[in-house]
Structure 1
Amino acid sequence: MAANNHTKYDEDFKKSLVSLYQNGKTQAQLCKEYGVSQSALGKWVKQYSTVEMDDGNVLTAKQVKELQKRNAQLEEENLILKKANCHIHATLKQRLDAVHKLRFQHDIRTLCRVLNVNRSTYYKHFRKEPAPRVSENQRIKSMILHIYADYDKRLGAYKVQYILKRDYGITISVGRVYRLMRSMELPQMSTVKPKPACRRTDNGECANHLHQQFSQDAPNLVWVSDITYLKAGGKWYYLCVVIDLFSRKVISWHLSGKADVSLVMTTFQKAYKGRNTPNGLMFHSDRGTQYTAFSFRQLLDSLNVVQSFSKKGYPFDNAVCECFFKYLKREETNRRTYHTFHELHLSVFEYIEGFYNSRRPHGSLGYLTPNEMESAYWGQA
């Protein structure tokens, strides 16, 4: 999606895009997914590009992409063997049945190659035409699987139904989508992860000016913020985000090894600079010590930003941030194990910049994405 004239990119954003390029994504894909120009991305690649392996060897982005492609191929082959519940030395009938069972989840050529079945033999064995309703369900299942994979297994029946109608022109009930997804036995997401204790204290007057008015008429009127905990390599890291209530867009985020006032100030300053120093802004958060700290409150006062706080021990006053962290963990971080800070940082970058802001439909926005919501606004302004 094309970027608007109000977008500025910080160093973390540029370096993260270059890392994705080095990990095998094409410049065309990155430009489309993150809304940057080809010339800007090319400049960033020249500026930041280095690919050094753990053993000290240096590989080109093309070599990295080939390795990743081969790794993905091996993972699919292992998954096929696991789901087929048979091996290459099973009887031909067993292998044919396994190919037929998985034909809408994997390419027929791949299935036949992995299970050592001749394709012509498979087609002759199952040449009977299915009933019209069965054929239609099979066609829809194929589309559901494509959507499911394209959105990295993050969408449920309601959002899949919406995308089927939007992208494929298929109108069916949510119940039918749910039944088809259930019949496909799609892998479930892991959503369990420990939460460390969080201590909150007050520092000065903490008034609530927002009063749960989460729907705003324009960008840069109200920003909300919060901090959550993510683990990598046996160590806790802290993610601070700033969200614009108008579009639900994460306009700034920062990961740090310390949950201190510096984390909050850095995240806010990135948002403030990236949104062209807006006037008449309200900033809402909980009463964490990072937000009530004198240095941060002094910063907001110097910029004429009205500071608002949730009621003590009442997370519903900051529900938008709470929901975002729920989606982030359920759809991304709880599904993965991170060995390094860099792995965690790149995963959060891909989720926020490559999925949440640009591709995830939001029910509260009429199933627009945050970027689409803002583009529509700026296009009319």
Structure 2
Amino acid sequence: MVISVSAFVSGATPYTNHLTPPPVLVADAPRQVWCWDITDLPGPGRQRFKLFTMLDLYSRCVVGHRVEHHESRELAAEFIHACLASEGVSPRVIHADNGPAMRASTTRDLLTRLHITASYSRPRVSNDNPYVESLFKTTKYDRRFPERFGSLDHARAWAEEFFTDYNTRHHHEGLAGHTPERVHDGSWPTHHEHWRTLKNAYAQRHPHRHHRTPVTHEPPDTVWINPPHQLSQTA
């Protein structure tokens, strides 16, 4: 199930800072909702490269990325096409911030032609695209992140290595310790059962340390942007 609400949640008080309604999105499986954004990477001197990143809301898997000298509506369209081709399927919703490349008529027309709903953050609201923002923070706080990239090729090579590692080896706290790739391709239950078996066996061997059967948490059933209960509490 995917929800993209273009009006205030029933009973919620309109926000005082904006008249724009909050995006309300939920995914209960991979490839339903994607989120994307563009951030700066420091290059030589005063140069700033542009990192395009597309994230699957449910699995947190990075389904596409590219680094360019600049951002443009043409590059945005190419990026979206590349992500769709890589996954071989179209999500129902693609969510983004309000940058020029995201709001460009060519981008919106492209999504309309592909029968994909375009969703946008509220103006000047930083937490309407929280999962991509969190990913960018993880990227830039990584110990391998250089003070500056020496060239565009350097930035592209680094991003390729980092996101491959992130998808395949990063044990994500929000996914109960599973990697984004395992949740995205549906293989996580096999690993989960292995973990559960090991934890239970360890507890049986050391009963003085475990007074009850250990719990092996699973990834969440649904992932939200602006869940209704949160909006009603903060409105």
User: TM-score, length-normalised on structure 1?
Assistant: 0.42
- Structure with higher Rg: it is 1
Residue of structure 2 equivalent to 1:320? 131
- Greater relative contact order structure (CA < 8 Å, 6+ sep): 2
Partner amino acid, structure 2, of 1:244:
D
Q: Which structure 2 residues correspond to residues 159-174 of structure 1 after superposition, within 5 A?
A: none
C-alpha spacing 1:294/1:245, structure 2 compared with 1 (3 Å): same
Q: Which residue in the other structure is 1:236 paired with?
A: 48
SS of match in other structure, 1:259: coil
1:248 partner letter: R
| Equivalent position of 1:375 in the other structure | 185
Classify 1:295/1:287 alpha carbon distance in 2 versus 1 (closer, same or farther; 3 Å): same
> What residue identity is the alignment partner of 1:343?
H
Larger strand proportion, structure 1 or 2? 2
| Structure 1 SS opposite 2:149 | coil
TM superposition shift of 1:334 = 4.2
Distance 1:268 1:219 in 2: 17
Identity %: 25
**Is 1:358 matched with 2:151?**
no
- Give 1:265 deviation, angstroms: 1.4
Deviation, 1:375, is: 2.9
CA drift at 1:308? 0.5
- 2:64 is aligned to 252
The equivalent residue for 2:155 is: 344
What are the ranges of 5 or more consecutive residues in structure 1 without an aligned counterpart?
1-205
Query: Which residue of 2 is the match for residue 119 of structure 1?
Result: none
Q: Decide whether aligned partners of structure 1 residues 360 and 378 sit closer, same or farther in structure 2, where only a CA change above 3 A counts.
A: closer
Q: What is residue 52 of structure 1 aligned with on the other side?
A: none
- 1:263, distance to aligned residue in structure 2 (A): 2.5
Cα distance in 2 for residues equivalent to 1:266 and 1:368: 31
- Tell me the secondary structure at the aligned position of residue 241 of structure 1: strand
**SS of the counterpart of 1:268?**
helix
User: Residues 285 and 310 of structure 1 are in contact (CA less than 8 Å); yes or no, is this contact kept in structure 2?
Assistant: yes
5+ unaligned residues in a row in structure 2: which ranges?
Answer: 1-18, 191-235
- Do the aligned residues in 1 keep the contact of 2:23 with 2:122 (CA within 8 Å)? no
Which amino acid in the other structure matches residue 310 of structure 1? Answer: S
Q: Is residue 31–residue 89 contact of structure 2 (8 Å, CA) maintained in 1?
A: no
Paired amino acid for 1:375: D
Which residues in structure 2 correspond to 1:126-205 (within 5 Å)? none
Partner of 2:82: 270
Query: What secondary structure does 1:358 align onto?
Result: helix
Mapping for residues 38-49 of structure 1, pairs under 5 Å: none
After superposing the two structures, state which structure 1 stretch, 263-272 or 295-304, moved more.
263-272
Q: Report the alpha carbon displacement of residue 335 of structure 1 after superposing the two structures with TM.
A: 3.6
